[in-house]
């Protein structure tokens, strides 16, 4: 049979389209089920699965130790689980019984086939290795267990004779250990833990609820700081408000909550940026600023929370404005050019008389077009500020009509 090239191309195109549709539907289905992860996400899920399995296979005292390390010491849960695992390997954490036990087979050993109904021995079996009899008969666990775990075929199964402590249990998180291979492992008894129990009594072990999801915290989670309170919460709220309203500005660098206060950092490109942020942080008109290196520092208050502003580049801008002004006067973080008119918030123009109030040198200004008395610049700013410069009117000074 001769194959027609046109027909083959059509079939190939149809198959390619069907495969493409199937692939898109398959990927969409995986995303809907939450089974499609980003690059590196599989490793995170694998670590989380390992943590959950380790948590489920460990005794109740292990859970209590992890919770204590996380809540009282402030360590991440992953670090706390490593510490508790190391303590468990040393035999410093008791098992399900009141005394430490070390006769569990490793959790990583696969289970053998369950015995059928015709098996001769249908009672509970254990994967404990034989230990030398130094103090009487071999001791086992307390009563039957609901599930039968079998070790390698080379390890003889021992029936439970009487309750008592055993010291040949392998770590629940380690790979094949000598106990699982049939070797005899001797562990030294925990002397320190015995003294602590004798002095303070046995620590209460929380009971586990069947079906309850284990509390495995992410590695990045940390306990709340000791000093956390309503003041810190208000600082976080104020910082969030400042970020939402002002962080999009080009000169804004950082807005963060620092304990019970908020810190703001900017890189000003003009004195207008500096004055904008003084208003944004709630700084009063008579705010006292100081120079710190190449930055100007000021403080304000928003909703009862102190806000500290660090404006980089402002000292240079103030010096530049001082050099270009006809009659410069520095007051409360701003340069006022008294050679120009000053417009208040009601659009009235104030003119300088060229006189000072006293030895402190506070300038005196009068309202243009009025015959009223002169007022000091500081009083005008507090009562009618802010002031913005404007060119002097062509008519002259204070006595001219508007």
CA 170-176-182 angle, 5° bins: 75
Nearest residue to 91 via CA among 216, 194, 215, 235: 194
Contact 344, 387 (CB under 8 A): yes
**pLDDT single digits (tens) 130-148:** 444 444 444 444 444 444 4
Structure tokens at 40: 């590196």
Structure tokens at 318: 């103030």
Please spell the DSSP secondary structure of 24-87, one letter per residue: HHHHHHHHHHT----TTHHHHHHHHHHHHHHHHHS-HHHHHHHHHHHHHH---HHHHHHHHHHH
Q: Domain residues of the chain, as ranges?
A: 5-36, 230-316, 328-390
Distance from C-alpha of 215 to C-alpha of 220, rounded to nearest angstrom: 14
Structure tokens at 376: 């000091």
Element (H, E) at 105: none
For residue 371, the 8-state DSSP code is: -
Nearest residue to 93 via CA among 169, 152, 182: 169
CA distances (Å), origin 212, targets 65, 95, 159, 315: 18, 20, 32, 61
Q: Mean pLDDT per 10-residue run, the chain (402 residues)?
A: 60 85 81 62 67 74 82 76 82 60 44 46 47 45 44 43 46 48 49 48 57 52 60 91 93 92 95 94 92 94 94 95 91 91 91 79 87 88 89 59 39
Place of tokens 């104020």: 238
Give strand ranges (E) for 194-333: 252-258, 261-267, 290-292, 295-302, 305-312, 328-331
Give the number of residues written for the chain: 402
**pLDDT single digits (tens) 5-52:** 555 678 888 888 888 888 888 877 777 766 665 555 666 667 767 767
Per-residue model confidence (pLDDT) at position 36: 62
Nearest residue to 163 via CA among 88, 103, 89, 87: 103
Per-residue model confidence (pLDDT) at position 267: 95
Per-residue model confidence (pLDDT) at position 213: 52
Sequence-distant (≥ 6) Cβ neighbours of residue 332 within 8 angstroms: 285, 286, 287, 288, 289, 381
CA distances (Å), origin 62, targets 57, 85, 91: 10, 8, 11
Nearest residue to 245 via CA among 259, 235, 236, 255: 255
**pLDDT single digits (tens) 222-251:** 445 556 688 889 999 999 999 999 999 999
Per-residue model confidence (pLDDT) at position 309: 95
């Amino acid at each position: 049979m001769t194959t027609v090239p046109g027909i083959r191309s059509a079939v190939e195109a149809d198959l390619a389209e069907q495969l493409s549709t199937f692939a898109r539907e398959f990927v969409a289905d995986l995303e809907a089920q939450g089974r499609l992860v980003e690059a590196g996400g599989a490793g995170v899920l694998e670590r989380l699965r390992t943590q959950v399995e380790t948590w489920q296979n460990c005794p109740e005292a292990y859970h209590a130790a992890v919770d204590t390390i996380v809540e009282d010491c402030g360590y991440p849960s992953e670090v706390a689980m490593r510490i508790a695992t190391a303590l468990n390997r040393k035999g410093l954490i008791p098992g399900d019984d009141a005394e430490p036990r070390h006769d569990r087979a490793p959790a990583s050993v696969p289970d053998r086939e369950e015995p059928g109904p015709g098996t001769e021995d249908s009672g509970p079996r254990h994967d404990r290795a034989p230990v030398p009899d130094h103090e009487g008969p071999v001791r086992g666990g307390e009563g039957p267990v609901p599930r039968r775990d079998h070790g390698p075929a080379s390890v003889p199964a021992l029936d439970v004779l009487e309750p008592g402590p055993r010291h040949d249990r392998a770590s629940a998180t380690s790979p094949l250990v000598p106990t699982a291979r049939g070797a005899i492992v001797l562990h030294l008894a925990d002397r320190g833990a015995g003294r602590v129990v004798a002095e303070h009594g046995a620590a209460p072990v929380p009971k586990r609820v069947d079906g309850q999801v284990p509390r495995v915290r992410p590695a990045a989670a940390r306990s709340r700081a000791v000093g956390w309170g309503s003041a810190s919460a208000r600082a976080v709220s104020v910082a969030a408000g400042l970020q939402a309203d002002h962080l999009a500005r080009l000169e804004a660098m950082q807005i963060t909550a620092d304990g019970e206060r908020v810190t703001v950092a900017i890189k000003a490109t003009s004195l207008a940026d500096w004055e904008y942020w003084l208003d944004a942080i709630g700084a009063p008109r008579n705010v006292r600023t100081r120079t710190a290196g190449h930055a100007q520092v000021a403080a304000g208050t928003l909703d009862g929370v102190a806000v500290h502003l660090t404006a980089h580049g402002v000292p240079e801008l103030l010096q530049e404005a001082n050099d270009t002004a006809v009659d410069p006067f520095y007051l409360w973080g701003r340069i006022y050019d008294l050679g120009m008119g000053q417009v208040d918030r009601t659009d009235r123009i104030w003119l300088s008389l060229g006189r000072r109030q006293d030895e402190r040198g506070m300038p005196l200004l009068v309202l243009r077009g009025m015959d009223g008395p002169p007022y000091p610049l500081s009083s005008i700013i507090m009562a009618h500020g802010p002031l913005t410069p404007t060119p002097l009117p062509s008519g002259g000074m204070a006595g001219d009509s508007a």
